[in-house]
Amino acid sequence: MMIYADNAATTPMSPAALATMVRCLEQQYGNPSSLYELGQRAREVLEQARQEIAAVIGADPREILFTSGGSEADNQAIRSAAELGKKAGKRHIVSTAFEHHAVLHTLKRLESEGFEVTLLDVHTDGLVRPEEVEAALRDDTCLVTVMFANNEIGTIQPIREIGRICREHGVLFHTDAVQAMGHLPIDVKADNIDLLSASAHKFHGPKGIGFLYARKGVKLTNLIEGGAQERGKRAVTENTPAVAAMAVALTEAAAHREQNAAPQSALRDRLIAGLSKIPHSALNGDAEKRLPGNVNFCFEGIEGESLLLLLDDRGICASSGSACTSGSLDPSHVLLAIGRVHDVAHGSLRLSLGEDITEEQVDYIIRNVTEVVEYLRGFSPVWRDLMSGKTPFIL
Ligand SMILES: *Cc1c(COP(=O)(O)O)cnc(C)c1O
């Protein structure tokens, strides 16, 4: 048995998206900037995809800019807002401690360029409080950036409310919606969003392609200078096949979203209930306001890395934090942000289920995680100290 339970890291491509990509690579290989028929056919594919993507989130096609993925969209959104802020003499940005590194590292860079950043604490439930966002706003705040749903613990933030507050105060609002796109309803107008980032490989599209929504009137700053592609905002010959595949994947995800979400959430809850029976374990993040496929646990007295390797032997692909941080020995900044202490944060496990997960697979995961945690605790000195009372249990 092989169970892919790491959909927050990346997803397999949908067959329809893959077929579109191959067809486009074979047939629409023209450069969309070329004037002859073959180029113009590629241009049509590109603009058709832009319309489809815009329609899913309630945007105008001219508000969609294609990028190489979520990280680039985050970088460009934040850099653009900072540039606009600088021109208006505003150099303060509000964000949260559990954002993706594409956001956090961009903010770090801006700090070294003279910006001031307020990172809000996240509560133990993994949720940001809108009133705390409001309280952090200052006269010189040029941007608020809060992710739609967290990539590690899956918690869904009160985006519409935060957006409303930003509108009232005349501050730009960016959201990294990479985990939410295709999985949650998103309407940029109703949700009061000015800038939004998305990435195709998190919703069954190809890797290396994504998009940035920028509300009409929000002037973007280039990260890449050169030709006049993307209305002059991103030079690079457009990746027409990937864009076309992304549009197919997103349209498909949006069309089946509601139908998928109910059974997927039910199986997520079955998995949570099963893993909760493991002694000294705890779910990370709110149980209800979470992505339909996300399960994230801490198990006291074990190492997350060993757990992952042994689960891999049993055919389960999972992750300890985010793919970007595995390989480093630091515990996840997200788990630390929600108040997990170092030792506990080390014993974490993220299982992000696909829409096609079955009850049988969930039960297989429960059985195997339970066995492996027990096995690892069997020779863990940390666990021995906990059991003998030498150190107190936290969970
Ligand atoms: C995956 C992810 C990104 C990065 O997207 P890429 O397309 O891989 O660059 C950014 N933010 C979040 C929340 C993510 O989950």
- Is any atom of ligand 1 closer than 6 Å to the C-beta of 281? no
How many other CB atoms are found less than 10 A from the CB of residue 257?
17
- Is any atom of ligand 1 closer than 6 Å to the C-beta of 179? yes
> From CA 98, how far away is CA 338, in angstroms rounded?
8
Only one residue has tokens 């058709």, namely 48
> From CA 271, how far away is CA 316, in angstroms rounded?
14
Q: Whose CA is nearest to atom 14 of ligand 1?
A: 178
- Is any atom of ligand 1 closer than 6 Å to the C-beta of 206? no
pLDDT confidence of residue 326: 47
- Is any atom of ligand 1 closer than 6 Å to the C-beta of 199? yes
The model's pLDDT over 290-328, given as tens digits with 9 standing for 90+, comes to 999 999 999 999 989 999 999 999 999 999 865 444 445
Q: Whose CA is nearest to atom 12 of ligand 1?
A: 178
Nearest CA to 199 among 7, 394, 337, 5? 7
Give the pTM: 0.97
- Is any atom of ligand 1 closer than 6 Å to the C-beta of 102? yes
3-class SS shares of the chain: helix, strand, coil, % to 5: 45, 15, 40
Nearest CA to 218 among 229, 233, 200, 199? 233
From 68, 178, 290, 332, the mutation candidate for ligand 1 (largest count of ligand atoms within 8 A of CB) is 178
Amino acid in the structure at residue 376 = L
> From CA 108, how far away is CA 194, in angstroms rounded?
22
Instruction: For residue 238, give every residue at least 6 positions away whose Cβ sits within 8 Å of its Cβ, in sequence order, or none.
Output: 32, 42, 46, 66, 229, 230
Q: Whose CA is nearest to atom 15 of ligand 1?
A: 151
Catalytic residue at 142? Answer: no
pLDDT confidence of residue 329: 65
pLDDT confidence of residue 1: 84
Task: Give the sign of the dihedral formed by CA 165, CA 167, CA 171, CA 177.
Answer: positive
From 66, 76, 100, the mutation candidate for ligand 1 (largest count of ligand atoms within 8 A of CB) is 100
> From CA 190, how far away is CA 365, in angstroms rounded?
38
For residue 290, the number of C-alpha atoms closer than 13 Å in the C-beta half-sphere is 27
Question: DSSP letters along 12-38, please?
Answer: PPPHHHHHHHHHHHHH--S-TT--SHH
Ligand 1 center from residue 207 Cα (angstroms): 10
pLDDT by 10s per residue, the chain, length 395: 899 999 999 999 999 999 999 999 999 999 999 999 999 999 999 999 999 999 999 999 999 999 999 999 999 999 999 999 999 999 999 999 999 999 999 999 999 999 999 999 899 999 999 999 999 999 999 999 999 999 999 999 999 999 999 999 999 999 999 999 999 999 999 999 999 999 999 999 999 999 999 999 999 999 999 999 999 999 999 999 999 999 999 999 999 999 999 999 999 999 999 999 999 999 999 999 999 999 999 999 998 999 999 999 999 999 986 544 444 567 899 999 999 998 888 899 999 999 999 999 999 999 999 999 999 999 999 999 999 999 999 99
Q: Go through the domains of the chain in sequence order and give each one's CATH number.
A: 3-9+257-388 (3.90.1150.10), 15-253 (3.40.640.10)
> From CA 4, how far away is CA 134, in angstroms rounded?
40
How many other CB atoms are found less than 10 A from the CB of residue 354?
17
- Is any atom of ligand 1 closer than 6 Å to the C-beta of 239? no
Residue 14 near residue 226, CB atoms below 8 Å: no
Segments of 183-263 assigned E as strands: 195-199, 210-214
